[in-house]
A = this chain, B = another copy of it.
Amino acid sequence: MKVGFIGFGEVASTLSRGLLDQGVEVLTCVEGRSPKTVDLAKSAGVELLLTFQEVVESSDVLLSTVVPDQAVHVAKEVGKNFKGVYADLNNVSPSTVKEALSYVSPGKTTDAAMMGGIKNGLKTPIIASGPGAEIFAELNQYGMNIEVIGLEIGQASALKMLRSAYTKGVSALLFETLYAAYQMDVDEVLLGYLNQTEGPFFQESATSRIKSSAFHAKRRAQEMDEVLEFLSYYEDPLMIRAACEFFHLLPARTGIIRKKPADYREMFREVDYKGE
């Protein structure tokens, strides 16, 4: 089994190490890439070929792990005559993955999405959909953790996006509700009561989400823009649109947050102040 990586960052490096340990041959090409990338590939111990064409010709499975805005470009460059499984593992929207894979020779294309941080190594949960997904999932024999969720390109990236949309929507709703409660001095009691109906880890996860929401508001807003664009194709997504607007407006309400707040009330005091 030979696995080739197109693009070699943190994800490729971690998966490579795991696959090499399992006796899989791992290939990539770092021609024209930054010294950092070259180091990463060398220290992982993967086989470095001189051209991407050689990687393509030698691989049973090609994994595209590039920066998101390169996903379509690399698929165009290397996918045309590839006969193996081409899996797009990039963090891109369903429409982008569809566009990218439209340039790859059909039959074994795979939409793949990581459902957890790469810190779990080879065991990081990955979902896959598309005509090549079942064959791609044969890498589970070598310790990977791939779940096939459907036959269509777009399903895996849609699922990842929808999960993210839901949890970000919850964060926005929590922020809004708890901030109102804070203004009436009932925020802690509210969290206690919600903890009774929303499950045992609610309070901890809720306060953590509120603090992250404010700290990462700009990134959240960009991610929600993508979700909104995607969902608008299916329906008029009222809640997602509101969450998107919420994250766009949040930085103006909180002011600049230089480090993640230790305490949500401390942050709310600032929001309060800015609002006056």
Interface residues of A (CB under 8 A from B): 115, 127, 147, 149-150, 152, 154-155, 158-159, 162-163, 165-167, 169-170, 172-174, 176-177, 179-181, 183-186, 189-190, 193-194, 197-202, 205, 231, 234-235, 237-243, 245-246, 249, 275
Partner of A172, one of B181, B185, B201, B238: B238
Question: For the complex, what is the distance from the CA of A108 to the CA of B24, rounded to whole Å?
Answer: 76
B235/A185 in contact, CB under 8 A: no
Q: 10 pairs across A/B with beta carbons < 8 Å?
A: A147-B189, A154-B184, A159-B190, A159-B193, A166-B177, A166-B190, A169-B239, A170-B170, A199-B201, A239-B239
Extra A-B contacts (18), CB below 8 Å, given A149-B186, A198-B199, A238-B249 = A150-B186, A152-B184, A152-B185, A154-B184, A155-B186, A159-B184, A159-B190, A159-B193, A162-B181, A162-B186, A167-B194, A170-B170, A235-B275, A238-B243, A238-B245, A238-B246, A239-B242, A239-B246
Which residues of B lie under 8 Å from residue A237 when comparing CB positions? 176, 180
Copies of this chain held together in the complex: 2
Complex Cα distance A42/B177, Å? Answer: 43
Central interface residue in A176, A201, A237, by most chain B CB within 10 Å: A176
Known: A150-B185, A190-B163. A240 touches B176 (CB 8 A): yes
C-alpha gap A154/B181 in the complex (Å): 11
Question: Using Cβ atoms and an 8 Å threshold, which residues of chain B touch A245?
Answer: 238
Evaluate whether A184 and B155 lie within 8 angstroms (CB atoms) in the complex, with A198-B199, A199-B198, A242-B238 already known: yes
How far is it, in angstroms, between the C-alpha of A20 and the C-alpha of B177 when the chains are bound? 39
* B158 lies within 8 A of A169 (CB): no
CB distance from A105 to the nearest CB of B (A): 25
Assembled-state Cα–Cα distance A275/B243 (Å): 24
Q: Least Cβ distance of A104 to chain B in Å?
A: 21
Chain B residues with CB under 8 A of A127: 189
**CB closest chain-B residue, reference A245:** B238
Q: Give the CA-CA distance A127 to B188 in the complex, in Å.
A: 13
Q: Is the CB of B167 within 8 A of A197?
A: yes
The verdict on A176 contacting B246 (CB below 8 Å), with A158-B186, A184-B155 known, is no
Residues of B within 8 A of A275 (CB): 235
Q: Which residues of B contact A155 (CB under 8 A)?
A: 184-186
Alpha-carbon distance A234/B182, docked complex (angstroms): 11
Which residues in B have their C-beta under 8 angstroms from that of A239? Answer: 169, 172-173, 176-177, 239, 242-243, 246
Query: Cα distance A193–B125 when bound, in Å?
Result: 10
